Structure 1
Amino acid sequence: MGKVAVLGAGSWGTALALVLGDNQHDVRLWTHREEQADTINTTRQNKKYLEGISLPDNVKAYHQLNEAIADVETIVLVVPTKAIREVCSQLKEHLHHKVTLIHASKGIEPNSLKRVSEMIEEELPRDFYGEVVVLSGPSHAEEVGERHPTTVTVSSVDIALAQKAQDLFINDKFRVYTNQDIIGVELGGSLKNIIALGAGISDGLDYGDNAKAALITRGLAEIARLGAAMGANPLTFAGLTGVGDLIVTCTSSHSRNWRAGYKLGQGYKLEDVLEQMGMVVEGVRTTQAAYQLSIEENVEMPITKGLYNLLFNHERPKDIVDQLMNRGKTHEVEELPDEFRNHTL
């Protein structure tokens, strides 16, 4: 079987390393912290991020990047979006052969408004890979670690590379589909974190299921509206990386974005919530980026705008909900642009 480096030993990176280990690959799980690597190798567990899950013996942790990527055929990049450019810069120094490059990070970079694949392409010369592959979908790391049935999507403009990634990960507990709409797959996986923050806030305010169902549904409309403006296939948002990921992230306490939103809804300050979480809450940075994108693309995104004002302009959660409920009358179903009307399932 193949040699695979998983860069990023958080909960999701560890879970993906476990899947690859179950598939009998030689897996190198990289962390920049030597103590974490030693603990994983000694205990066979990553207790801070995926407690109680034992890793297969063919998963070994590394803290030296050059050792982790030596002679591997595939690199799976699973670090927070704010670390993507730095890690790619390090890869550029240590990578000396061509690999299949897969990323499983979900976010958009504020200010540059780049998706993760675009950030990788800017930082890492194309001599080292063909096209970027993205892995995304409704997948809590905790449940993948428990080997509960999970289904995800891999996407690339090069379908052969997507199929290669599909073969790498797929097994009887981890089903993998392919999709060539990399824009839609990345946007769906990123923007759902914004709506998950909102769902958590709604629950923190004890507004009940009606309010959360409305938030999720109208949130999906915002995601699809922006996606279509940026060239995505709107039907992608009806799939695993759209509505599927939205459901799992908005309705589960496993979701750190939902948990952060819940605390905000209860009245905690953002800085205190982020400190308590102890892990990256991608939805915060993505809210900033999506709000900037909505202005640039001239796309109406009232939920995103409201959450932006809550996170960065310190408006009260209840005031944001009141603003959303008192917007002017409008239609629920919008006309698709002509270029998208002929898409088929």
Structure 2
Amino acid sequence: MARTIIIEEFGGPDTLKLVDREVGEPGPGEVRIAHVACGLNFIDVYQRTGLYPLELPHALGMEAAGIVEAVGDGVTHLQAGQKAAYAATPPGAYSEARVMPASQVCPLPDDIPFEDAASIMLQGMTVEYLFHRVWPLKKGDTVLFHAAAGGVGLLACQWARSEGITLIGTAGTDEKCKMAVDNGASACINYRSEDFVAEVKKLTDDKGVDVVMDGVGKDTFDRSLDCLKPLGMMMSFGNASGPVEPVSLLTLAQKGSLKLTRTTLFTFLADHERCQEMARHLFEKVQSGDVKVNIGQTWKLEEIAEAHRALEARETTGSTILTL
């Protein structure tokens, strides 16, 4: 049996329940993993509220790190006793242990702690695909990144610095803006006190940026288009403020033949080899020191409702983990 967080109905943080669930043995293509720590991400909120519907009841949590306890037939990249980490479907990482598909579970280097891995798998591989797999970014490009002091944002600031990419961030307080700059942003705009479109134009000599990476959604999307250069790329990858309203293709034409994509990490992770390659790239960034883990908050598994409330209130900085 393993303590596990589930929901039986969609709603607020109070719908999160701690129960004991049987773990069982892995079948073909599966692995059983005992978790040491798991990560908290906005996708967990989307699933809890029903924005991303699940078949109920369902466990939550998309990333974790721990020890492989057993592997099923056909699993060759993992073995019992090995350190491992993942960002993977289906949800179920808010648990002491689980059986799950092995394809997206990745061997974890010995020199990366479980807690660090649990905090960066989903967010770090999100940054990896945004910078390397959606559109070919290169040294000298300019990026506008919203919520630059969040878990994904701080990793993106460091990643950009390591790649020679100029990243302009936005955040909701001066303190958060300072964190973004300290982590590698060339500048950070307090969107509560400044017009981020006007500030981006000033910072780019009225040219705009090559790429916008927007995980905020509804509140930032429309004005972000005005920050792009002609032929620029808008990468929408999250809905922290709500889903984006429909956009006319003519709007993209009128604003400079802009490109637009709505991406999701798990499309990229669906291919086993690509998933493992993305994880290795992330681990190399961490091992080299180019990317440093920033765990801003730690809660115990039984404090999950409090953790969700803090995340939704935008009271968190960096990454958030749950310890088992």
- Above 0.5 in TM-score? no
Higher relative contact order (CA 8 A, sep 6+): 2
- Structure number with higher strand proportion: 2
TM-score normalized by the length of structure 1: 0.33
Tell me the TM-score normalized by structure 2: 0.35
Between structures 1 and 2, the one with greater helix share? 1
